[in-house]
Amino acid sequence: MLTAAVRSLHEAHPGKFHTNVASPCPALWENNPFITDFEESDPDVEVIDCHYPLIHQSNQRPHHFVEGYTAYLAEILNISIPPYAFKGDIHLSEDERNWIPQVTEITGKNIPYWIIVAGGKGDFTIKWWDHKRYQEVVDHFRNRIQFVQVGEAQHYHPLLSSVIDLRGKTDLRQLVRLVYHAQGVLCPVTSLMHLAAAVPTKPGTPLSRPCVVVAGGREPVNWEAYPSHRFLHTQGALSCCDNGGCWKARTLPLGDGDEKDLPENLCVDVTSKSLPRCMDMITSADVVRAIESYLEGGIFPTLTQAENEAANSVASHLRDEDRQFSSPEGPCSTTEADVPELVEVCGLRRSGLHSVSNWFLSHFEGPAFYVNDINHHESDEELNDSAYLPCLSSTEPNTPVADSLDSASIIMVGYEDARLISVKNWDLPSPLRSIASTRILILRDPFNLFASRLQAARQRSKNAFAKALVHQMKGTSMHFTQLWKRYAQEFLGMTSHLGENVIRVNYNRWTTDMEYRKGLSKQLNRPFCDNERDSVPRYGFGSSFDELSYQQRGSEMPVLNRWKDFKEDAEYRAFFDRETMELSDQIFGKVITDSFSRSLWSSSTDTPAVSNH
């Protein structure tokens, strides 16, 4: 949108200004003829921090986003700047126009394609549409339109079948070139919608690129829609958007501390599918009809038989390779819908790891395969004896992994007491290495966690595994007090060993707060399911204190009061230092009584921070 303002400035006042732009997206300004290279430190340079306050009147005045920066720039410079064109201003070099498109490199044919975005940013869930409906659209146009799926790797973009998968495989400039060669675009309200209008079309093709936008009721139509686009909205049909857009941010709170979780920023009409009603009202048939209208008008042709064969050959090649699907870093490929989902769960033992994992797994339909404590498996062969959560519709013990992959809809891998820095690059067994994963980090407060570990070690004193919960790492840099601090630092974002897109689970809140669990379901991109909240998984001895006595009553266990049994215990108290208590307060708030807290503070020693190797 700022490119439109700079273009309009120069078109309205040719030769009067020199402009340069400092932007987090410099790729959008490549080859721009209105940009002059100079430094903002030059005393002759005026620096303008650009905004678009016109957005605050978007529900009341008939203006488009393309006017936002332009109007602000005109006001600051005290000149008239009429909008020059109804789109942004993106320029490609002659070399870029002649480069072989990525799709041609993959298929070996110059195949026409549409770009599809079937997800969105993880923090703006109100813009998401039903992933299954995107798939229904793709299926409807199979053998007529080839779709190419894109999206940033750290955002929510679940895999579609029968698409060329470029998720996480394009930088911004590559995306611009991908749009240049595309017939059309299907997406929610997102940057790609604006690129569809701003990127020029190829010679010999229509002047405007087809684009279908699944918009709902968040943004005012006049503010976002372009004349040649099919902007599918529901404004005027619902009381929450009967006078423009609602401008909400999320359907359910995510529990990440962002102001988008505030009640005034949440959707007021969420359906049972966890969709905003405005998005739920838009059907796959609506989208199909919008795309069909471009076909009926003759604006672009459908695929030829040779083009279809070239696109389908990529999927055939993958099937011939024994289901070895491409990783996000691997070569681009057409993918199939039956790829199982991989979820990697990291947590400290006695953190409710199995209960939370079981709850997450209950969100998936079909058989689940659970690989427990994978960081203590020494070989692929050991996975044939991998543990499973018996309360799930899981594979039976001793089922070979390869057989399980054939039927599993979800594969969950658990890392227990693992060094976090090793998880991201863990050498997974061969059947799992090529599946894109979701990572979950579970953290329990140290007061109750340490109590549970001590209880397990003492109650099962003849069990070497239970004793190791406390004694194995004593006197080493991996003593579990230090390990807990490393997990807490990762939870707070002080480190990022697990990567950027991690679901962080505050176990204390998970046990008590249904709204918090709903937010976790949303982060998992699944409808909320609380069926297994009260289950106590039999694997791992059950509870350190109650074993399996609370089966189907798990929510009644006093898991936040375990510390009370150990508050006078000298061995227990020795596990705390000031850093541990400060991190706990920052994440969990008040867990123990003030008197116990004061006694721990007075007896604790300041321990040097441990390096995160």
When the candidates are 3.30.70, 3.90.580, 2.30.29, 3.40.50, the CATH number that belongs to 341-603 is 3.40.50
pTM higher than the cut 0.75:
no
Amino acid at 344: E
Calculate ∠ Cα 295-299-302, nearest 5°: 50
SS3 350: coil
Question: pLDDT at position 227, please?
Answer: 95
> Cβ atoms within 10 A of the Cβ of 144, count?
13
Token digits of residue 475: 């006197």
Question: pLDDT at position 473, please?
Answer: 53
pLDDT tens by residue, 593-613: 888 887 877 766 554 333 333
φ/ψ (deg, to 5) at 439: -110, 140
SS3 249: coil
Ranges of residues in the chain whose predicted pLDDT is under 50: 315-337, 378-402, 464, 476-478, 607-613
Is the distance from CB of 442 to CB of 352 less than 8 angstroms? yes
CATH of domain 94-335: 3.40.50.2000
Question: pLDDT at position 460, please?
Answer: 61
Is the torsion defined by CA of 4, 34, 46, 75 positive or negative? negative
Residue 564's closest CA among 591, 524, 589? 591
Domain 94-335 identical in fold to domain 341-603: yes
Q: What CA–CA distances, in Å, run from 242 to 216, 223, 259, 470? A: 12, 15, 25, 60
Question: pLDDT at position 332, please?
Answer: 37
Sheet of 333-335, strands arranged across:
230-233, 211-216, 184-188, 114-116, 147-149, 163-165, 333-335
Sheet of 341-347, strands arranged across:
368-371, 410-416, 341-347, 437-443, 502-506
Calculate ∠ Cα 518-523-525, nearest 5°: 95
The domain limits of the chain are 2-77, 94-335, 341-603
